[in-house]
Amino acid sequence: MAENRHRVVFGAGKVPAQLVVIGEAPGADEDREGEPFIGASGTYLRDWLDMGFDETEEGGRPGHEYVRESVYFCNAVCCRPKRNANPTAAQVKACQDRLWRQLLILKPKAILAVGKVATKALGMRWKPESGLDVAQAVRLPKPYRLPWVRFSGYCYYHPAYFLHEGKADNLYAPGGPAERMGVFAYEFKGAVQRMHEIVSRVLETMKRQEIA
């Protein structure tokens, strides 16, 4: 794919990350700017996550702080495929070493794959209707597999699916992608906060026991 690209799009966001969002491949805007999820589809995705992650500021506008401070965005492949086609299995395989290394560095609490290509690249089953509700295990292959590393993976349709299949009018309908992604983000944020509270209580108890 190197002959078709302008930029290599590795990823962008928080390192380490609480949530890693993995798409399929860079689009035209991403290829030009070198940053993932900044085109039309990416803008929708970020907005949907914002709806669940961020508190609403005065005036009804979302704050975006949580996404900036907690989410990392990347793709299954780093280069834009020819004619913006879906990456082939061979192209995905050629980029997997980079993807596994990224995940080991990022150490996310969870991974969200958007689109079938990204889901399959992680070794998960493509079940978009229930993919935001039920976590799947993301198993790294040897030699990246470490006994203390466990990733929970979720999957959903890529925002481009709704834009290209004539479903754009239903993006913000009840039960639509905006609402479903917002609920996922809200519940994920709550789960992370509860986890932090449990760890803090355990550490505080251990500290008191040491003092005693």
Using the predicted structure, report yes or no on whether residue 150 has a pLDDT greater than 50.
Answer: yes
Q: Is the dihedral of CA 35, 122, 191, 128 positive or negative?
A: positive
Residue 16 clears pLDDT 50, i.e. is over it: yes
Share of residues in the chain with pLDDT > 90 (%): 48
Half-sphere exposure for 64 (CA within 13 Å, toward CB) = 7
SS3 content of the chain, % helix, strand, coil (to 5): 45, 15, 40
CB-CB contact of 55 with 63 (8 Å)? yes
For 34, 58, 96, 161, 163, the CA distances from 76, given in Å and listed in that order, are 15, 37, 7, 17, 20
> Both tokens of residue 3?
């002959």
* Statement: residue 209 has pLDDT above 80: no
- DSSP alpha helices (H): ranges in the chain? 28-33, 40-53, 65-70, 89-106, 116-121, 159-164, 177-211
Which pLDDT value is given to residue 59?
44
- Reply yes or no: is the peptide bond before residue 62 cis, omega within 30 of 0: no
Check: pTM over 0.85? Answer yes or no: yes
Q: Which phi and psi (to 5°) does residue 9 adopt?
A: -105, 95
Mean of the pLDDT values across residues 144-161? 87
For 76-106, what is each residue's pLDDT tens digit?
999 998 888 889 999 999 999 999 999 999 9
Q: What's the CA angle centered on 111, arms 5 and 69, to 5 degrees?
A: 85
